[in-house]
Chains A and B, each alone.
Chain A
Amino acid sequence: MSIQVDHVTKRFGAFTVLNDVNLHVQEGELVALLGPSGCGKTTLLRILAGLERPDQGRIFLQGTEVTDQRISERRVGFVFQHYALFRHMTVADNIAFGLTVLPRAQRPSAARIQEKVHDLLGLVHLQAMADRYPSQLSGGQRQRVALARALAVEPKLLLLDEPFGALDAKVRKELRRWLRRLHDNLHVTSILVTHDQEEALEAAHRVVVMHQGNIEQIGTPDEVYENPATPFVYQFLGDVNVFHGRIAHDRILDKEAGEPLSADADASDQREVTFVRPHDLELSLSRTTPTQLEATVQFLITAGARVHLELASKEFSEIIAVELTKERYRELKLQQGDVVFVHPKQLQVFRMPSPLTVKS
């Protein structure tokens, strides 16, 4: 079911949770709403489900306006962060719930319901758990029951509110891959809310990055990661070094690597800020170009697939984070206290209002 969010605004008291949000989701897509807590992503999801009403704007599902439609008429499956299973019902009864509350005329026979529950238990790999109560299951199992329960009513739209947020890292990783495979088989239009950028980039076809009630960027995982549209997206999607000021332009902004500095940068009330990801910084032991930045290795973490370094430079007050492959690290034979020369392979420059300029 395609979704159209049209100029939706939602306020809780004086606080604007969603500020004139527009979004289009194609049929069969898996879209992730990504952002820090309080960015409005969950509210947007709840508005789509009909659990909240927008103050302004309209929602269209499959081209039909549903802004005032009741939840039960929308045919939307909703999966909650804390499972929201019915704890006094067995797993099988939980999954059957959506079918048993159907009006008598539409309700399948008891045998048909049982069959369907059995199929869904198979889909979520919980056949053996049919007669257990939710309290007897692990977190990952509970969330799979919740997903099966949502799928039982054959929703045209599946909404997942931080579905793996309460699970530990390993289970989370397993489940999000499983979810992606499940989606590839079922093709039900799905929206996944998450604050975990890895989860969004890995599971979704498209990522919608939200911040303070606004959509900052919409794009494929590659697009948002490689070409962040705003400083917020750049910072939210991964570790980043931020270089401020004039020196950054002279030192870091090598003409080969990035755009040239505009002549009126300091004259306007905007300043240019340079963003570089730690793995885009190249280190060498001797100076090869005049623009390289000289720094000392302060700290290194060698455990794991990659080596993380913290560098200190006389020219910047902040620590510079660098990520190297194991091979590169072995080639350089770096030690704490070594002097290195830093050069960005890739960087991005954003113009931001200067904090020093007092606006009236």
Chain B
Amino acid sequence: MHLILKQPSVLPGFSLALGFALFYLSVIVLIPLSGLFVKSSSLSWEQFWNVVTTPRAIASYQLTFGASLVGALINGVFGSIIAWVLVRYHFPGRSIIDALVDLPFALPTAVAGITLTAIYASNGWIGQYLEPLGIKVAFTPLGVLVALTFIGLPFVVRTVQPVLQDLDREAEEAATTLGANRWQTFRAVIVPELWPALLTGIAMAFARAVGEYGSVIFIAGNMPLKSEITPLLIMTKLEQYDYTGATALGVVMLVTSFVLALAINLLQWWSSARHMNQ
């Protein structure tokens, strides 16, 4: 096999760094994940298929990936707005809001789950006003969405914020002098610049939501076929000592997540390559 290396550089350490990076990735990521495949391979194809396509499992995939995607998209919109406000406006308490954004990162997920459940329960602060409107959040799929949106927010804000900060103000001014209104400037000048970062942020929020467990189990109610996420189903199988069944579901999640991550990366590569061919 022929390795495509970069041109020899005066800066030292490329081979060493490459070797280290591959070794590190193997130890941290590849070896544990391949264990997942090895374990699930004790099942025959037919058994594997039966385990991963039970109605309960399929319902859990739909909820996990569906709610994660919707949550990530919601964060895409509102996270961008928050990043915009934080970058463009200076107001008292701005640094406090800035710090608040990171809270979902730092907060133990169980704490987040319990807090959200308490607030959105039918007698909670927000839940009591939603109840008469016929909206139930806690212990429903909607609750799952709320939790997954909560934990994903920082990813979008923190990826979009630096790009917004570096945005060329003169390009916006140029658009204005050429007669564009605010909306046209936003759509034609700002959004194309933000796209790659926004996609990254959404992808990261999505990935984080797919893997989320702690905060969801408190608010979801965990009713099979209705509000049960795949990670919880895996947990249930483990508690029943069905290790191979658990790993089979794990493999499905792994492959799906990898394909989605790859697709988003390609989309991102395409959107930035199309415009910025240096």
Contacts and interface: CB of A to CB of B under 8 A. Distances in A.
Contacts of B36: none
Interface in B173-224: 173-181, 184, 188-189, 192-193
A101 B177 contact: no
B168 interface: yes
A26 interface: no
A87 B277 CA distance: 10
Contacts of B184: 101
Contact of A102 (B171, B179, B193): B179
Given A86-B188, A86-B189, A135-B278, A101 B180 contact: yes
B179 to A, nearest CB: 5
Contacts of A80: 170, 173-174
Contact of B171 (A51, A72, A84, A98): A84
Contacts of B168: 82, 84
Contacts of A133: 275-277
B179 A98 contact: yes
Given A51-B173, A80-B170, A80-B173, A87 B179 contact: no
A85 B178 CA distance: 12
A84 B179 contact: no
A82 B275 CA distance: 19
Given A49-B177, A72-B176, A97-B180, A86 B171 contact: yes
A50 B184 CA distance: 18
A149 interface: yes
A258 B173 CA distance: 51
Interface string B245-278: 0000000000000000000000000000001111
Contacts of A85: 171, 174
Contact of A101 (B171, B179, B277, B278): B179
Contacts, number: 74
Given A84-B170, A84-B171, A71 B277 contact: no
A116 to B, nearest CB: 14
A72 B181 contact: yes
B173 A84 contact: yes
Contacts of A136: 277-278
Interface in A130-165: 133, 135-136, 146, 149-150, 152-153
Contacts of B189: 86
For B173, B178, B188, B277, which residue has the most chain A Cβ atoms within 10 angstroms? B178
A58 B170 CA distance: 25
Nearest to B195: A88
A228 interface: no
A228 to B, nearest CB: 34
A77 B180 CA distance: 13
Nearest to B170: A84
A8 interface: no
Contact of A97 (B175, B193, B276, B278): B175
B188 A101 contact: yes
Contacts of A82: 168, 170
Nearest to B271: A88
A71 B177 contact: yes
A101 B176 CA distance: 10
Given A86-B189, A136-B277, 17 more contacts: A71-B176, A72-B177, A72-B180, A77-B177, A84-B168, A84-B171, A84-B173, A84-B174, A85-B171, A86-B192, A87-B171, A98-B179, A101-B188, A102-B179, A133-B277, A136-B278, A149-B174
Interface of B: 168, 170-171, 173-181, 184, 188-189, 192-193, 275-278
14 contacts: A72-B180, A82-B168, A85-B171, A86-B175, A86-B192, A88-B275, A97-B175, A98-B178, A101-B179, A101-B188, A135-B277, A146-B174, A152-B178, A153-B179
10 tightest A-B CB contacts, nearest first: A88-B275, A84-B170, A98-B178, A84-B174, A78-B177, A88-B192, A101-B180, A72-B179, A101-B184, A80-B170
